[in-house]
Amino acid sequence: MDITSQLTDIPLESNRPPAFVLEGTLRSHSTKNLAHHACHQIMKIRTGITLLVEKDRQQPLFSNMTAFIPAGLPHRSTPLGEAVYYKSIYLDEAMFRRNISDIVIFDMSDLGAALFDRISSLMAPQGADPEDLDGQCLKLLLKLMETEIHHRSHLARIPVPRNPANLRITAFIASRFQSKLTLSDFTNALHYSERHLSRVFKEDIGITIFEYLRLYRIFQASLKLLRKGASKTITEIALSCGYDSLSSFYKDFKEIFVMTPRAFSQKNGETHS
């Protein structure tokens, strides 16, 4: 089913404070359909990876990055693998007026991260003293974000096809990514010419079939690195995701996650040899 076919409005209490915090464990997608709410959201993940899904793209979020989700934007959060622990600060639009229309994943400074962590589970309600410690931390955090939100993470995004034919291509990749694939494999399975497949796929989502395949393989590898109790080595994980060259796997992984597989595993999950 097309993820954009339905849209859920998340209601918020009329007497809610202008800024408040929600945190906890997310074990499945946040909502079945894409959803939106009437305030901005600043989100950080403590452990694991979640996929932030929009109408035409998906972006992974994990512990060293911050996501800004503007008010009114249809989206969904889907954990990859194990459950994730998250913390979000919700803000009235008036508190952070920026012309941002999509999810921004950016690199927050150490000071910004410390301020984010310090803000307590429920900030001052209407009429409370705006000069309390949480209020001051939030003011400074938003001031930092005016600049830091432009430091977008170099993490690659996972596009979502709109064309039904391209959905068949991505489904084929999902079922065969462990194997060595050539363009002929796609044409034989989908009964289109190489030229047609390549053209319509890139026109739809902006990257080639094999660039998408690379993204898919790396994200599958990231799930294996996070899996609790996993006994596979990094080499075994690379081979199980369709790589026959360990150096290519390391190069692609570092380009997408901006760290080595070992560093990623140590930071977010289990330790692998």
In tens, the pLDDT along 10-54 reads 445 556 678 888 888 887 766 678 888 899 999 998 877 788 988
End of a domain among 123, 148, 173?
Answer: 148
Mean pLDDT of the chain: 82
Instruction: Give me the pLDDT at residue 107, please.
Output: 84
Residue 230 has pLDDT above 70, yes or no: no
How does DSSP classify residue 134?
A: H
- Report pLDDT digits (tens) over 233-258: 999 999 999 999 999 999 999 888 77
- 107 plus 221 within the same structural domain: no
Q: What's the total number of domains in the chain?
A: 2
In a shared domain, residues 113 and 173: no
Query: Exposed (0-12), middle (13-18) or buried (19+): which is 218, by Cβ within 10 Å?
Result: buried
165 with 243, same domain?
yes
In a domain, 153, yes or no: no
Which pTM value belongs to this model?
A: 0.66
Task: State whether 13 and 127 are in the same domain.
Answer: yes
Q: For the domain that residue 212 is a member of, what is the CATH number?
A: 1.10.10.60
pLDDT of residue 228: 58
Q: Does residue 236 form part of some domain?
A: yes
Half-sphere exposure of 44 (CA within 13 A, CB side): 19
Asked if 198 and 209 count as a contact pair (C-beta separation under 8 A), the reply is yes
CATH code (residue 42): 2.60.120.280
Report H helices in 107-233. 110-118, 133-148, 164-176, 183-190, 194-205, 209-226
Query: Which of the two residues, 182 and 84, has the higher pLDDT score?
Result: 182
**Residue 222 CA to its chain's centroid (Å):** 13
156 versus 185: the higher-pLDDT residue is 185
Q: Using one digit for the tens of pLDDT, what is the confidence trace for 53-73?
A: 888 788 888 766 899 999 999
User: Which range of residues forms the domain containing residue 60?
Assistant: 7-148
In a shared domain, residues 114 and 209? no
- Residues 23, 142, single domain; the answer is yes
Q: How large a percentage of the chain has pLDDT more than 90?
A: 41
Q: Answer yes or no: do 21 and 125 share one domain.
A: yes
Residues 134-147 pLDDT 10s:
888 999 999 999 99
Q: Which of 148, 174, 199 is the last residue of a domain?
A: 148
**3-state SS assignment for residue 260:** coil
Q: Indicate the pLDDT class of residue 9, thresholds 50, 70 and 90.
A: very low
Q: What pLDDT, on the 0 to 100 scale, is given for residue 63?
A: 67
- Let me know whether 224 and 260 are in one domain: yes
Q: What is the pLDDT of residue 1?
A: 31
pLDDT tens figures, 175-212: 999 999 999 999 999 888 999 999 999 888 888 899 89
pLDDT in tens, 101-133: 999 999 899 999 999 999 975 554 443 455 688
Q: Which residues neighbour 51 within 8 Å (Cβ) at sequence distance 6 or greater?
A: 58, 59, 60, 61, 77, 78, 79, 80, 158
Name the more confident of 9 and 16: 16
Answer whether residue 97 shows pLDDT above 50.
Answer: yes
Q: By C-alpha distance, which of 237, 217, 215, 235 is closest to 226?
A: 237
How far apart are alpha carbons 64 and 136 in whole angstroms?
Answer: 24
Whose tokens are 């065969």? That residue is 176
Q: What is the pLDDT of residue 129?
A: 52
User: Which of 96, 124, 148 lies at the terminal end of a domain, its last residue?
Assistant: 148
My answer on whether 215 and 168 are in the same domain is yes
pLDDT of residue 71: 94
pLDDT on residue 18: 84
